[in-house]
Amino acid sequence: MTTSTAATTTVLKSLNGAMHAMMEADERVLLIGEDLLDPYGGAFKVARGLSERFPERVLTTPISEAGFVGVAAGMAMRGMRPIVEIMFGDFLMLAADQLLNHISKYRWMYNDQVHVPLVIRAPMGARRGYGPTHSQSVEKHILGMPGLHVVAPSVLHDAGALLRAAVLDDLSPVVFVENKLMYARRQMSAEGGRIGDLFARATSERYPTTTVSWEPFDRADVTLVAYGGMVELALEAAETLFFEDELVVEVVAPSSLQPLDLAPILDSLKRSGKLVVCEEGTAGAGFGAEVISRVSAEGFSLLKSAPKRVAARDYPIANTRSLEDMILPQVADLVRSCRSG
């Protein structure tokens, strides 16, 4: 995609800057996790510089996800605003008991007298050759967990602003999904309703949904829903389809996966009537299944054809690049699904 404007900063710098600013302004904010200390600053260097500036509020821990997530939950209940860094999102499942049986339920178990304003940052995703246990997108396993918010920035969002909203404004526990490949990408923000050559619009919620199109939202042939790292692939597919097939694809990128605001998707479907949903994880019981289920229930009359899902194949993710590419959804898969009837 050709972008002439709005290339601001990388996602990594945006997240790092947000944490520096929050810890500078608010003593309740702290960071806890493994290998956070400088000069490394975490496995992907998102926490770089924090331990030198705030040594008493950057807590590096032993390898025990269940343990330090539980400690952070206690801190949140006592008025702190902890940010937990999970080294690789795959390890989030080691803290599943804390999430499922404790953190997400306390508010109701104690008659709304207790809140757990805790943010768990979890680097997810593949395409870096890390293999089957360090490349997964496991967020679908926590979608549908009552009481938990799941937020996933993309290049169409201000990742730092989303993190600030999660840490400072959200009283619910938040799992903040960060696609690893996205860290080096530049965020694209809208200026005057445009992002580069694209027309753009965004909702005004705490965690906005951004929709972009090659046309000024007066016509569309396909609604392509994507989040996180898949948004870049969706944008590339939309560009290919516009110039090779003259198909107008609206890319709808929610930043909140749970709760999911269905309104922007339904609004796009009023123009296109055709829905494709993509995700980097496997399809079964995933994000795409949830979107299609809700659209079928709340906007069935808008569909002119059967909705489609594009996702990873049902295999563990391989180390070898050729096998990794075979397993993961590619731009060509999106193009093919958008072209098909």
Buried b / exposed e over 43-67, threshold 16 CB at 10 Å, is bbebbbbbbeebeebbbbbeeebee
Q: How far apart are CA 262 and CA 62, in angstroms?
A: 40
Please give the average per-residue pLDDT across 108-115, as a whole number: 96
Please give the average per-residue pLDDT across 227-243, as a whole number: 98
Say if CB 233 and CB 183 are below 8 A apart: no
Burial class of 264 by CB neighbour count within 10 A (0 to 12, 13 to 18, 19+): buried
What is the pLDDT confidence band of residue 3, given thresholds at 50, 70 and 90?
very low
337: number of Cβ within 10 Å = 20
| pLDDT tens digits along 39-69 | 989 999 999 999 999 999 999 999 999 999 9
* Mean of per-residue pLDDT scores for the chain: 96
Residue 341 has pLDDT above 70, yes or no: no
Query: How confident is the model at residue 120, as a pLDDT?
Result: 98
Report how far apart, in Å, the C-alpha atoms of 328 and of each of 288, 304, 307, 315, 317 are: 15, 28, 20, 9, 8
Q: Which of 103, 85, 257 is nearest to 172 (CA)?
A: 103
Q: Which one has a higher pLDDT value, 5 or 339?
A: 339
What is the pLDDT confidence band of residue 4, given thresholds at 50, 70 and 90?
very low
Query: How confident is the model at residue 81, as a pLDDT?
Result: 98
Q: Which domains does the chain have, with CATH numbers?
A: 11-179 (3.40.50.970), 194-340 (3.40.50.920)
Query: How confident is the model at residue 7, as a pLDDT?
Result: 55
Query: How confident is the model at residue 5, as a pLDDT?
Result: 37
Q: Which of 189, 177, 175 is nearest to 116 (CA)?
A: 175
Query: How confident is the model at residue 2, as a pLDDT?
Result: 42
Report how far apart, in Å, the C-alpha atoms of 62 and of each of 48, 87, 119 are: 19, 12, 19
* Beta bridge mates, 32: 59, 84
pLDDT above 90 covers a percentage of the chain that reads: 96
Please give the average per-residue pLDDT across 184-211, as a whole number: 94
Say if CB 327 and CB 321 are below 8 A apart: no
| pLDDT tens digits along 125-148 | 999 999 999 999 999 999 999 999
Please give the average per-residue pLDDT across 157-182, as a whole number: 97
> Quick one: three-class SS letters along the chain?
CCCCCCEEEEHHHHHHHHHHHHHHHCCCEEEEECCCCCCCCCCCCCCCCHHHHCHHHEEECCCCHHHHHHHHHHHHHCCCEEEEECCCHHHHHHHHHHHHHHHCCHHHHCCCCCCCCCEEEEEECCCCCCCCCCCCCCHHHCCCCCCCEEECCCCCCCHHHHHHHHHHHCCCCEEEEEEHHHHHCEEECCECCEECCEEEEECCCCCCEEEEECCCCCCCCEEEECCCCHHHHHHHHHHHHHHHHCCCEEEEEECEEECCCCHHHHHHHHHHCCEEEEEEEECCCCHHHHHHHHHHHHCHHHCCCCCEEEEECCCCCCCCHHHHHHHCCCHHHHHHHHHCC
Query: How confident is the model at residue 186, as a pLDDT?
Result: 95
Give the pair of three-digit tokens for residue 45.
């260097």
Query: How confident is the model at residue 163, as a pLDDT?
Result: 98
Kindly report the pTM of this predicted structure. Answer: 0.96
